[in-house]
Chains A and B, each alone.
Chain A
Amino acid sequence: MSKQYETVIGLEVHVELATKTKIFCGCSTAFGAKPNTQTCPVCTGMPGSLPVLNKQVLEYAIAVGLATNCEITRYAKFDRKNYFYPDNPQNYQISQLYLPICRNGGVEIETEQGGKKTVGIHEIHMEEDAGKLIHDEWEDCSLVDYNRSGVPLIEIVSEPDMRSAEEVIAYLEKLRLLIQYLGASDCKLQEGSMRADVNLSVREAGAEKFGTRTEMKNLNSFRAITRAIEGEAERQIDLIEAGESVVQETRRWDDAKGESYAMRSKEDAQDYRYFPDPDLTPVNVSGEMLEEIRAKQPEFRTEKMARYREEFDIPDYDIEIITGEKALADLFEATVALGAQPKKVSNWIMGETLRLMKERETDASDLRFSPENLAKLIALTDTKQINSSVAKEVFEAMFEENVDPEQYVEEKGLKTVNDEGALKKTIEEVIAANPQSVEDYRNGKEKAIGFLVGQTMKAMKGKADPGAVNRMLKELL
């Protein structure tokens, strides 16, 4: 490659909102229901049915707009986007084209070089999700499930301000955190509650004009996004170098094959014939409504990090990790509020919680144990009723099914034995059985005591306070 190229990227991010019901009808949005059991005439396009807007959708959309520094459109409308596809029961999608709810915003991200840069947000609009198509291998047909049809989405359209996969990931992380903090969505890429389409073009370094862009769909992990961006930039550069031109088109990323292919069809005119939906009335955002939503905006990550530094004596690194997931920060604060010492709470989160999350591939938002139980567990160790290895065992049970640690310790008989007589008797037996180690210790090998403590703990089936064992051993020796 003789010339230097620059990659120009804009993102269309779809976020499923965390409402209880769909955007235009009273059907549940809960995951995992049997096909078509969360449907009604409205979300299945029955003739004569009519949509009515879920107020919570509007409030979430405005809240996200405020969090991303957008102007809120005070007089917004819904439009119909017309295209035929079986997952789209009306064969038009209710969306916003002419007067979207938010415009002209932006968020700040950190670049690889450690600098800061703003990624502009062109607009945010509200729309409805499509149903799900399942391929039936036996009958060589497809099956339609409308449970997801009508689930509320916001689409966040960025300006073409990103220049690398790293910036794209930083931007997505930033959006994810803002939206999670708002409680407007759990933003899980893998489950599809956050989806990104990548608009990408390349141009010679220093060129003013943008190149022809392609749109890539079906990117459901950060890894896929990174690979797709790198692959597509390379494909476009190869075309240009070979003297060919890039075609403006939509491409589907195949992560397994590591390549994209054009989604083209003669029957796909890509002419959506948008027009204002006559079935829905305009949205007039009053100053009062706006202020109410503004007043409810939560503390976002940057502010939270600053407050943690001020209030809690925990390392910056811990703060970084804990505030990196809204669910972890909530857990941390709730547990501290119950009286647990911040550093200890932080240790449990940074240590065992993250370890098990990684091992079990659990998302922070799916953690099962309550702050109450974590506080109880910390209290049990604080009061030396259980030792740290027992605590880990109890924690694992909590992680699995949110057991009450007090009850669990009681039932399983895991309490540390604080009976001095019994402990003394066991230690004497250990001393008697391990003359070599005793000798070593007396000869100044401090380390030998570790072995003796271990033997004692083993004999006590772990239910002793290692500190107390250590102290008593030293006395007896």
Chain B
Amino acid sequence: MANVISDETIEYVGILAKLELSGEEKEQAKADMGRMLDYIDKLGELDTTDVEPMSHVFPVENVFREDVVTNGDERERLLSNAPQEKDGMFVVPRTFE
């Protein structure tokens, strides 16, 4: 296996992705990611010098909306799925120090 994923990398990716893995899951994730990256490294065989990266397949451009208010008060609907709400707002763990 060419790609060896370190504990630090898995820890770091966990911070980025907000995932917390158990010890066993971590080992599995390290192995899986290493194998996937080995596999993806196959792309390196292709010479892509002067190739423009393609994010959209079609040249669809300039899709706009006009600056006109179309939405009204949908608060009740918005909050209908909230795990926890108060005073018309979503409750989250304290964010201020």
- Asked whether any CB of chain A lies closer than 8 Å to the CB of B42, the reply is no
CA distance A89 to B92 in the complex (A): 12
9 closest A-B pairs by CB: A26-B70, A143-B89, A55-B64, A56-B67, A144-B90, A37-B73, A284-B61, A276-B55, A86-B92
Which B77-96 residues have a C-beta within 8 angstroms of A?
A: 78-79, 86-96
Q: Which of A4-12, A27-35, A378-386, A432-440 has 4 or more CB atoms under 8 Å from chain B?
A: A27-35
Per-position binary interface string of chain B over residues 58-70, scored 1 when its CB falls under 8 Å from any chain A CB and 0 otherwise: 0011111111111
Which B33-59 residues have a C-beta within 8 angstroms of A?
A: 55-56
Q: Which of B15, B61, B68 makes the CB contact (< 8 A) with A20?
A: B68
Task: Indicate if the CB atoms of A139 and B68 lie closer than 8 Å.
Answer: no
CA distance A58 to B65 in the complex (A): 11
Complex A-B: 15 CB contacts under 8 Å: A21-B69, A27-B69, A35-B87, A35-B88, A39-B75, A53-B64, A54-B66, A142-B94, A144-B89, A269-B12, A271-B16, A273-B16, A280-B63, A282-B61, A284-B62
Q: Which residues of A contact B (CB under 8 A)?
A: 19-21, 25-28, 34-40, 44, 52-58, 77, 82, 84-86, 133-136, 139-146, 266-267, 269, 271, 273, 276, 278, 280-284
The residue on B at minimum CB distance from A82 is B16
Residues on A with C-beta less than 8 A from B22 are none
CA distance A34 to B75 in the complex (A): 10
The residue on A at minimum CB distance from B86 is A143
Given A36-B75, A142-B95, A269-B12, decide whether A136 and B65 contact each other with a Cβ distance below 8 A. no
- Asked whether any CB of chain A lies closer than 8 Å to the CB of B25, the reply is no
The residue in A38, A85, A280 that gathers the most chain B C-beta atoms within 10 A of its C-beta is A38
Residues on B with C-beta less than 8 A from A40 are 71, 74
Task: Indicate if the CB atoms of B89 and A36 lie closer than 8 Å.
Answer: yes
Given A139-B86, A282-B56, decide whether A54 and B64 contact each other with a Cβ distance below 8 A. yes
Residues on B with C-beta less than 8 A from A85 are 95
Residues on B with C-beta less than 8 A from A140 are 94
CA distance A288 to B90 in the complex (A): 45
Task: Indicate if the CB atoms of B71 and A52 lie closer than 8 Å.
Answer: no
CA distance A86 to B63 in the complex (A): 29
Q: Which of B66, B69, B94 makes the CB contact (< 8 A) with A141?
A: B94
Task: Indicate if the CB atoms of A55 and B88 lie closer than 8 Å.
Answer: no
Task: Indicate if the CB atoms of B94 and A19 lie closer than 8 Å.
Answer: no
CA distance A58 to B79 in the complex (A): 31
Task: Indicate if the CB atoms of B67 and A36 lie closer than 8 Å.
Answer: no
- Decide if the interface of chain A is mainly helix, strand, loop or mixed: loop
Task: Indicate if the CB atoms of B92 and A143 lie closer than 8 Å.
Answer: yes
17 further A-B contacts with Cβ under 8 Å, apart from A27-B71, A281-B61, A283-B61, are: A20-B68, A21-B67, A34-B75, A38-B71, A39-B71, A53-B63, A53-B65, A56-B66, A135-B95, A141-B86, A141-B91, A141-B94, A145-B88, A145-B89, A267-B15, A269-B16, A281-B60
Residues on B with C-beta less than 8 A from A284 are 61-62
CA distance A133 to B95 in the complex (A): 8
CA distance A282 to B75 in the complex (A): 32
CA distance A28 to B18 in the complex (A): 32
Task: Indicate if the CB atoms of A143 and B91 lie closer than 8 Å.
Answer: yes
Task: Indicate if the CB atoms of B69 and A26 lie closer than 8 Å.
Answer: yes
The residue on A at minimum CB distance from B58 is A281
CA distance A84 to B18 in the complex (A): 8
Task: Indicate if the CB atoms of B62 and A283 lie closer than 8 Å.
Answer: yes
CA distance A142 to B87 in the complex (A): 11
CA distance A269 to B14 in the complex (A): 10
CA distance A105 to B58 in the complex (A): 32
CA distance A108 to B89 in the complex (A): 44
Per-position binary interface string of chain B over residues 1-44, scored 1 when its CB falls under 8 Å from any chain A CB and 0 otherwise: 00000000000100110100000000000000000000000000
Task: Indicate if the CB atoms of A143 and B74 lie closer than 8 Å.
Answer: no
The residue on A at minimum CB distance from B69 is A28
Residues on A with C-beta less than 8 A from B89 are 35-36, 134, 143-145
Q: Which of A55, A77, A266 makes the CB contact (< 8 A) with B67?
A: A55
CA distance A57 to B64 in the complex (A): 10
CA distance A143 to B74 in the complex (A): 18
CB of B55 to closest CB in A, whole Å: 4
CB of B57 to closest CB in A, whole Å: 10
Task: Indicate if the CB atoms of A55 and B66 lie closer than 8 Å.
Answer: yes
